[in-house]
Amino acid sequence: MRVKPLAFALTAALGMALTAPVFAQETREFSVSTVLSDAFPWGQAAEKWAELVNERSEGRMTLKVYPNAQLVSGDQTREFSAMRSGLIDMAVASTINWSPQVPELNLFSLPFLMPDEAAIDAITQGGTGEKLFAAIDKKGVMPLAWGENGFRELSNSKHPIDGPEDVQGLKVRVVGSPLFLDTFSALGANPTQMSWADAKPALTTGAIDGQENPLSVFDVARVDQVGQNHLTLWHYMADPLIFGVNKKVWKSLSEEDKTLLQQAAIDAGAWEIEKSRSELSDTLATIKERGVEVTELTPEQHQAFVDATAEVYQKWTPRIGAELVAEAQAAIAAR
């Protein structure tokens, strides 16, 4: 019997539908830049984000973490620009490293602005934090959540430090931020900008006398092994982390995936902050067990450092934004 053309077409189409392969849902891989590896809380935050995204998307989205600022040849201050241009998809980044491109982020580097963890939260979790995220967004990167690198403490190979006079003349390694140079210059030190990769050899040879970093970095990097036997807990500034995404990548995502990515960042950030803070006591105990002399400032000693660096505020408040600085100070006072 002759098959009518229409019936044949329907039969053929049905056959193709029954035999055609079922294609898997499209998967996407994104690069994530960090400065530190997962030996440190910073790197752990990025790995946690990747883990949550992979789990919640059922493997449809994969975040590949590149530690040690690999994607910018070790120059962490170039990370924001590389992200904005699309060379990097995502990052878990330091406010310090992004501050050259986003001046408002210098707020966190103002000396002795935040005396404790509640003060950090007062900024990041309130209206000031929202304004800072808006500033990052305006500069071309989508910020999603906060993490934490911790308070930066001061170590040196010469002597204990419990007052500004003890800092005078010390050669101190600082990150690539003009505000850091101004702060240590105000204290009479000789600040030297260099990458962390260059810092340890310089500490080993005595080319520099000291450095400033969170306790987690001091511990894991074994800074005590390069002559840093004196550590002062002065809490002169804290360095929140930011989970961010390239704008083009962000816009390419469905609303469902945007929600998934951001909530995973929020959850990873909260996990990392809690973990970092809960480990501080044990980290400090470990550092002391290695023979490092730890100095904890009295309120009066702390105030002497605050007074000695007051001029930094006069120079930097206009650059950061007087209204933003005032709002942050009010939020801290009300914490």
Helices 299-308 & 310-320, crossing angle to 10 degrees? Answer: 60
Report the length, in residues, of the chain: 335
Interatomic CA distance for residues 91 and 82, integer angstroms: 10
Helices 127-138 & 322-333, crossing angle to 10 degrees? Answer: 150
Taking the complete model, does pTM exceed 0.75, yes or no? yes
Give me the pLDDT at residue 25, please: 60
CA angle 127, 330, 106 (to 5 degrees): 70
Question: 22-26, 121-125, 165-169, 219-223 — which is least confidently predicted?
Answer: 22-26
The 10 Å Cβ neighbour count of residue 263 is 15
Question: 14-18, 166-170, 286-290, 318-322 — which is least confidently predicted?
Answer: 14-18
The domains located in the chain, with CATH, are 28-333 (3.40.190.170)
Interatomic CA distance for residues 290 and 299, integer angstroms: 27
pLDDT over 60 at 190, yes or no:
yes
Tell me the average pLDDT across 240-246: 98
Mean pLDDT of the chain: 92
Closest CA to 45 of 102, 100, 91: 91
Sign of torsion over alpha carbons 160, 170, 239, 39? negative
Token pair of 207 as six digits: 């080319």
Tell me the average pLDDT across 219-230: 96
Give me the pLDDT at residue 315, please: 97
Q: For residue 64, which phi and psi values (nearest 5 degrees)?
A: -100, 115
Give per-residue pLDDT as tens, 98-114. Answer: 999 999 999 999 999 99
